[in-house]
Amino acid sequence: MTPMLDIVFIMLIFFIVTASFLKESGLPLNVPENSPPTTKDRVSLILQVSESNEVLFGARRIDIRAVGANLKRKMSELDNPSVVVRAHPGARTDTLMQVVDRVHDAGVHDFIVSPIKE
């Protein structure tokens, strides 16, 4: 085992000594500074489905049939808002799906469905 380690050590020294460390010449580059992208904070429109299956838009309770109209009106007032549908774990699934359908019917195809954390 010892002679093999000696041979490996000698080969390592040989490769280090014979390696040529040349600095290659090339064109100088002006690399711009990396700055973080500037993004505008998006306003989120929040629809909540409570445990008693009530639909809340912001802080007020609305009828499930009025979700689309309220969403369209509010989206026309704001610049590219994000839509979040939050549901209580005890809410009925059919109520949540009706709200999601109304959001989709309002022309919003990119929205988030998340649970309400207690």
Strand stretches in the chain, DSSP E: 44-49, 55-57, 60-62, 82-87, 111-115
Does pLDDT of 58 surpass 80?
yes
Q: Where are the domains of the chain?
A: 44-115
Confidence of residue 39 (pLDDT cuts 50, 70, 90): low
Query: What whole-number distance in Å separates Cα of residue 8 and Cα of residue 5?
Result: 5
pTM above the 0.95 mark? Answer: no
CATH topology assigned to domain 44-115:
Nucleotidyltransferase; domain 5 (3.30.420)
How does strand 111-115 pair with strand 60-62? unpaired
Which stretch, 18-22, 36-40, 101-105, has highest mean pLDDT?
Answer: 101-105
Of 57, 55, 71, residue with least CA distance to 104? 71
